[in-house]
């Protein structure tokens, strides 16, 4: 969306400014449900198993989400509370455009038959068993309060664009409210006190802001201004809990704009701002974003093995101490040692040990073994020592050392 334009003579646009509130926007991104602060600064991934296509949040934080042909009730941290039983049968497709009531007890959703004819129906989120009628021909349910909804996308060109009704009302009842233009029907409408926003036309290239007075369904709403030139199409408008801001979707993510005060008459609102790139199906609610998940502490390192028990002494006193490691170099010449390695014999080694040879404090050869160990000199040491007549080395193994002089 690039700009908003007036439909009547209006005042100048307001600057974009978002008052701080502990509310949140739920949305879907890459098949998972997310929550974000309205400024997009803190985002929380609710699910990680993928496949979700739509989500709606109640005032108390309950989330109802669509996944395939199923509806699920979830906590804000992603736990599935229950699968919600729907009215979908073999000839029906859906559910679409699921909207949970503010108190989280009911969900309204669209479903289409095999001929593409849409209807709105309802379910209790806890599967309480209430039998709701099918409201045929309408779509895009949005809750006005816990007992009343607004439907849009009229079933035919002669019908009003909007109808106000209760979930339990028979299919042929409801209060038809407003019609914009036979060529540009309103669909996907969000409502707040004294204002509603609706996407106009099947191509979804305009989103109009209306002012109304009195209760929804009474009086004649007044178009105030419109947003145009979306990235792709407009979708899913949703008002902040206080009605002072409006969020909606475009092809590049979720946008937000401030709402002017329309209580005294139409005013021009400001242009929007892209806040959550790559997101779809925004739903604004008063519940806060959960605190970041805390990674579990790393597992404690395993306890060291207990030392082996001393051998039994048969009552003859303490067991003798283990014999000390000794090393004895095999006599050889400097030339042979540099070419083939320096042999060192070990005694009393408990497993393989590392033996090193140092010249003037620097290690020049090393090897590893339990009996006879061959210490190999490094290439650098070979170059350094091959022309010397006498080389004095210090041999070391764990807990023992010895001196050795090699002659050419």
Contact between 361 and 392 under an 8 Å Cβ cutoff? The reply is: no
Burial of 87 (0-12, 13-18, 19+ CB in 10 A): middle
Which residues have a Cβ under 8 Å from the Cβ of 20 and sit 6 or more positions away? Answer: none
Residue range 8-53, pLDDT digits in tens: 333 333 333 444 458 999 999 999 999 999 999 999 999 999 999 9
Average of per-residue pLDDT across 363-370? 92
Give the chain's domains with CATH numbers. 21-285 (2.120.10.30), 326-407 (2.60.40)
Average of per-residue pLDDT across 168-190? 89
pTM for this model (two decimals)? 0.69
Q: Tell me phi and psi for residue 51, to 5 degrees.
A: 90, -5
pLDDT of residue 268 exceeding 90, the answer is yes
First-to-last alpha carbon distance for the chain, in angstroms, is 87
3-state secondary structure the chain: CCEEEECCCCCCCCCCCCCCCCCEEEEEECCEEEEECCCCCCEEECCCCCCEEEEEECCCCCEEEEECCEEEEECCCCCEEEEECCCCCCCEEEEEEEEECCCCCEEEEEEEECCCCEEEEEEECCCCCCCCCCEECCEEEEECCCCCEEEECCCCCCCCCCEEECCCCCCCCCEECCCCCCCCCEEEEEEECCEEEEEECCCCCEEEEEECCCCCCCCCCEEEEEEECCCCCCEEEEECCCCCEEEEEECCEEEEEECCCCCCCCCCCCCCEEEEECCEEEEEECCCCCCCCCCCCCCCCCCCCCCCCCCCCCCCCCCCCCCCCEEEECCCCHHHHHHHCEEEEEECCCCCEEEEEEECCEEEEEEEECCEEEEEECHHHHHHHCCCCEEEEEEEECCEEEEEEEEC
| CA pair distance 119, 138, nearest whole angstrom | 5
| CA pair distance 336, 146, nearest whole angstrom | 95
pLDDT of residue 344 exceeding 60, the answer is yes
Question: What share of the chain has pLDDT > 90, as a percent?
Answer: 71
| CA pair distance 22, 278, nearest whole angstrom | 23
pLDDT at 183: 66
Residue range 288-341, pLDDT digits in tens: 999 998 766 667 777 777 666 655 555 455 556 667 888 889 889 999 999 999
Q: Grade residue 285 by pLDDT with cuts at 50, 70 and 90.
A: very high
């Amino acid at each position: 969306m690039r700009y908003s334009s007036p439909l009547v003579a209006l005042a100048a646009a307001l600057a974009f400014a978002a008052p701080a509130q502990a509310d949140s926007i739920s949305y879907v991104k890459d098949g998972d449900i997310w929550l974000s602060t309205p400024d997009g600064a803190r985002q929380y991934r609710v699910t990680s198993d993928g496949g979700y296509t739509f989500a709606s949040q109640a005032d108390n934080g309950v989330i109802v989400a669509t996944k395939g042909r199923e509806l699920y009730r979830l906590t804000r941290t992603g736990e599935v509370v229950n699968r919600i039983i729907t009215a979908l049968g073999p000839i029906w497709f859906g559910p679409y455009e699921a909207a949970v009531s503010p108190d989280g007890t009911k969900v309204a959703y669209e479903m289409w038959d095999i001929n593409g004819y849409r209807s709105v129906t309802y379910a209790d989120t806890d599967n309480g068993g209430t039998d709701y009628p099918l409201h045929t021909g309408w779509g895009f349910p949005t809750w006005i309060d816990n007992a009343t909804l607004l439907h849009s996308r009229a079933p035919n060109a002669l019908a009003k664009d909007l109808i106000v009704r209760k979930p339990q009302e028979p299919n042929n009842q409801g209060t038809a409210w407003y019609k914009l233009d036979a060529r540009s029907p309103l669909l996907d409408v969000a409502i707040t006190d004294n204002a509603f926003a609706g996407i106009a036309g099947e191509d979804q290239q305009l989103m109009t802001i209306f002012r109304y007075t009195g209760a929804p369904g009474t009086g004649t709403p007044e178009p105030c201004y419109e947003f145009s030139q979306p990235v792709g199409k407009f979708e899913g408008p949703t008002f902040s809990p206080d009605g002072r801001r409006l969020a909606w979707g475009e092809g590049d993510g979720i946008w937000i704009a401030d709402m002017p005060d329309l209580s005294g008459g139409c005013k021009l609102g400001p242009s929007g701002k892209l806040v959550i790139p790559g997101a779809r199906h925004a739903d604004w609610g008063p519940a806060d974003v959960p605190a970041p998940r805390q990674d579990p502490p790393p597992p404690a390192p395993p306890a060291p093995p207990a030392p082996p028990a001393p051998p039994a002494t048969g009552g003859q006193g303490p067991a003798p101490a283990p014999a000390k490691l000794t090393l004895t170099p095999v006599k050889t010449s400097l030339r042979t040692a540099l070419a083939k390695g320096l042999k060192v014999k070990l005694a009393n080694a408990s497993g393989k040990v590392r033996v090193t040879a140092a010249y003037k404090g620097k290690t020049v050869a090393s090897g590893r073994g339990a009996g006879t160990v061959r210490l190999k000199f490094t290439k650098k040491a070979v170059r350094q020592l091959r022309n010397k007549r006498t080389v004095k080395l210090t041999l070391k193994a764990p807990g023992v050392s010895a001196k050795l002089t090699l002659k050419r």
